[in-house]
Structure 1
Amino acid sequence: MTTDELTAPGARPGPGAGAPDGALLAINNIEVIYDDVILVLRGLSLSVPEGQIVALLGSNGAGKSTTLKAVSGLLPSEQGEVSSGSITFNGQDITRMDAPERVRQGLSLCMEGRHVFPHLTVAENLSAGGYTKNGSISSQLDFVYEFFPKLHDMRTRTAGFLSGGEQQMLAIGRALMAEPKLLMLDEPSLGLAPLLVEEIFATIGRLNAETGLTVLVIEQNAQTALSVAHHGYIMEQGRIMLEDEARALAENPDVKEFYLGIGGDGKKSYRDVKHYKRRKRWL
């Protein structure tokens, strides 16, 4: 089944839905290689329409984090590069742009593992996130505290002593301090209790609904990600294997079986069913 055959009318609408001209971010047939040898992304293309939440799903090693590093300009720090294709953001080719300039253009990445500054307070961590802004950052601090009121209550606490969920809120809040046009989140649910995951994704949905913030989130927790997303992509081995509106993906039999843990007749091994169905339907 091709991606063209998977367009599903009646799925949840959103600003710019289904319209390539409305894409804030467009990744066009890129290949990413590490150490001049290891090919990780293999002709990957996707788009993120302005004002939407887009989920990029896949198993470990599929290339999800590499995709975000390619967009944010962090590949050179890991001996990686975009060897072909292009990345366009807000109508501008950013394929060779350095990472700090991409932040100034409106891209913010909240990395996997949170990476807060452990010896700084919550308020100091947030202030560090606004380093690209000239002048006062007090209005942006108020904005972050509105969506994460717990951070206001903990603003004088040392970040290294926060819980995992509190550090994740702080990491997202710090990314928001740059006033991004596109917020990218790498595995925000990693290592968190289910109730905290629900709280964080509810806040992501609220940010999108109330401010129009565009979000690209990569996740292994497919069910949670699809519950707030407008559109979704599924990666396997550096390629996009499936894309559709979020509701349609959540109802797709293969997605249910292999990413949501629903379905399956129990008569074949996981490996046999996986290889058979993916070869038949997706390739």
Structure 2
Amino acid sequence: MTSSTVDTQRAAGDPGAVPGRSLLAINNIEVIYDEVILVLRGLSLEVPTGSIVALLGSNGAGKSTTLKAASGLLPTEHGEITDGSITFDGADITHIDAAERVKRGISLCMEGRHVFEHLTVQENLIAGAYTKGRPSKSDLELVYEYFPRLRDLRSRTAGFLSGGEQQMLAIGRALMAKPTLLMLDEPSLGLAPLLVQEIFGYIERLNAELGTTVFVVEQNASRALAIAHHGYIMEQGRIVLEGSATELRDNPDVKEFYLGLGEEGSRKSYRDVKHYKRRKRWL
């Protein structure tokens, strides 16, 4: 499927992938850091198989913590899940370690890209396949097909790449683990608008052509909702609104607070909206 085909489907109201049963389900979890700081407060959400799901919210809402809970990285930052559960492909993964989750098909691109700066582009990609053994030539070719710029830069030391090139490399490295679920933390962070558009175009293609399920955390709500099938909005560790991407784009509060389309053009907190009623999804 070409990118133009995807664009045509989007314009016609076809998301380009048919969401299936729940692949990732976060069920009423609470997360505490350092045994005292409560960050997630009964959070629940679902990521259906074959879909792109966006998690939106302001700084400090708990978005990155949600991804770390799903990927098993909380213990590295003295965090823990104290209540609730997380299931992946029907199995409870609440307390299994991060490496095992990668083996089961979960890959995370962390905020800030975090490439191995002293390694070459190709060495970074090979490192991404460590849970699957030595990668085949076809594995590398698949990444180079989606990110042709990386092919030209494969011998370049990663630390000398531009921000956009490092983001491509981070996504490509995650793909080397052959994930069923690709999670992305702020992929637009620090990138120019044209590069943001390019990166999200790649994400859309991976979902449409490879069937990769994508869970993306973003502050750039407009760009995320342009490719997502479903979205959630977080405030203070809770889901306060959820719906299809179309419903969220058309929601007047979302337009004002996250898309910058309100009459005053200002971003506020949902707590300041008297007519807004908080909603939780208890799965």
Q: TM-score, normalised to structure 2's length?
A: 0.90
Shift of 1:275: 3.9
Tell me which residue corresponds to 2:204: 205
Shift of 1:276: 3.6
Residue 256 of structure 1: SS of its match in structure 2?
Answer: helix
Shift of 1:14: 6.4
| Distance in structure 1 (CA, Å) of the matches to 2:199 and 2:106 | 20
Residue 281 of structure 1: SS of its match in structure 2?
Answer: coil
| Distance in structure 2 (CA, Å) of the matches to 1:232 and 1:167 | 26
Tell me which residue corresponds to 2:176: 177
Shift of 1:274: 5.1
Shift of 1:264: 2.5
The one-character-per-residue Cα deviations of 1:65-95 (angstroms, maximum 9, x if unpaired) are: 0000000000001110000000000111000
Residue type at the aligned position of 1:128: A
| Distance in structure 1 (CA, Å) of the matches to 2:271 and 2:241 | 15
| Distance in structure 2 (CA, Å) of the matches to 1:135 and 1:94 | 26
Tell me which residue corresponds to 1:280: 275
Residue 132 of structure 1: SS of its match in structure 2?
Answer: helix
Q: How does 1:34-73 map to 2 (within 5 A)?
A: 34-73=33-72
- The answer to whether the Cα contact below 8 Å between 2:55 and 2:233 also exists between their aligned partners in 1 is yes
Tell me which residue corresponds to 1:115: 114
Tell me which residue corresponds to 1:250: 249
Residue 164 of structure 2: SS of its match in structure 1?
Answer: helix
Residue type at the aligned position of 1:260: L
| Distance in structure 1 (CA, Å) of the matches to 2:17 and 2:170 | 27
Q: How does 1:71-220 map to 2 (within 5 A)?
A: 71-220=70-219
- The 1:13–1:84 alpha-carbon spacing in structure 2 relative to 1, beyond 3 Å, is same
Identity of aligned residues (%): 70
Residue type at the aligned position of 1:282: K
Shift of 1:248: 1.0
- The answer to whether the Cα contact below 8 Å between 2:24 and 2:47 also exists between their aligned partners in 1 is yes
> What value does the CA root-mean-square deviation take over the aligned residues?
1.8
Residue type at the aligned position of 2:254: V
Residue type at the aligned position of 2:168: M
Shift of 1:59: 0.3
The one-character-per-residue Cα deviations of 1:175-230 (angstroms, maximum 9, x if unpaired) are: 01000000000000000000000000001001111111100000000000000000
- The answer to whether the Cα contact below 8 Å between 2:186 and 2:217 also exists between their aligned partners in 1 is yes
Any unmatched runs of 5+ in structure 2? 1-11, 279-283
Residue 275 of structure 2: SS of its match in structure 1?
Answer: helix
Shift of 1:139: 1.5
- The answer to whether the Cα contact below 8 Å between 2:17 and 2:208 also exists between their aligned partners in 1 is no
Shift of 1:140: 1.1
Shift of 1:16: 5.4
Residue 262 of structure 2: SS of its match in structure 1?
Answer: coil
Residue type at the aligned position of 1:163: S
Residue type at the aligned position of 2:252: P
Any unmatched runs of 5+ in structure 1? 1-9
- The answer to whether the Cα contact below 8 Å between 1:33 and 1:81 also exists between their aligned partners in 2 is yes
- The answer to whether the Cα contact below 8 Å between 2:182 and 2:213 also exists between their aligned partners in 1 is yes
| Distance in structure 1 (CA, Å) of the matches to 2:267 and 2:206 | 38
- The answer to whether the Cα contact below 8 Å between 2:258 and 2:267 also exists between their aligned partners in 1 is no
Residue type at the aligned position of 2:223: T
Tell me which residue corresponds to 1:226: 225
| Distance in structure 2 (CA, Å) of the matches to 1:142 and 1:118 | 22
| Distance in structure 2 (CA, Å) of the matches to 1:229 and 1:270 | 22
- The 1:37–1:187 alpha-carbon spacing in structure 2 relative to 1, beyond 3 Å, is same
| Distance in structure 2 (CA, Å) of the matches to 1:218 and 1:139 | 29
Residue type at the aligned position of 1:246: A
- The answer to whether the Cα contact below 8 Å between 1:62 and 1:238 also exists between their aligned partners in 2 is yes
- The 1:93–1:192 alpha-carbon spacing in structure 2 relative to 1, beyond 3 Å, is same
- The answer to whether the Cα contact below 8 Å between 2:121 and 2:153 also exists between their aligned partners in 1 is yes
Q: TM-score, normalised to structure 1's length?
A: 0.90
